[in-house]
Amino acid sequence: LSATEVDTPLRQLAFPDIFPMHASRSEILCDYGLDPASGARQLREWASAMRD
């Protein structure tokens, strides 16, 4: 799409550029909003904003 100059919205879910505190994998994912529930919520918010 970019080669044909079609603008496509892009959103990223990623860890910040810091060393996370020690915790279980699930706790770390939850703390940074990267667990499945947080990701689904963020996707719904982005989709809703695109419709408005």
SS3 17: coil
Nearest to 42 by CA among 51, 33, 50: 33
CA 31 to chain centre: 13
Domain membership of residue 46 (yes or no) is yes
pTM to 2 decimal places:
0.63
Does the pLDDT of residue 2 top 80, yes or no?
no
Domain membership of residue 40 (yes or no) is yes
Q: Do residues 33 and 42 touch, judged by C-beta distance below 8 A?
A: yes
- Tens of pLDDT, residue by residue over 17-49, are 888 788 999 999 998 899 999 999 999 998 898
Domain membership of residue 1 (yes or no) is no
CA distance 36 to 7: 27
- The enclosing H or E element of 2 equals none
Number of H helices, E strands in the chain: 2, 0
What is the number of structural domains in the chain?
A: 1
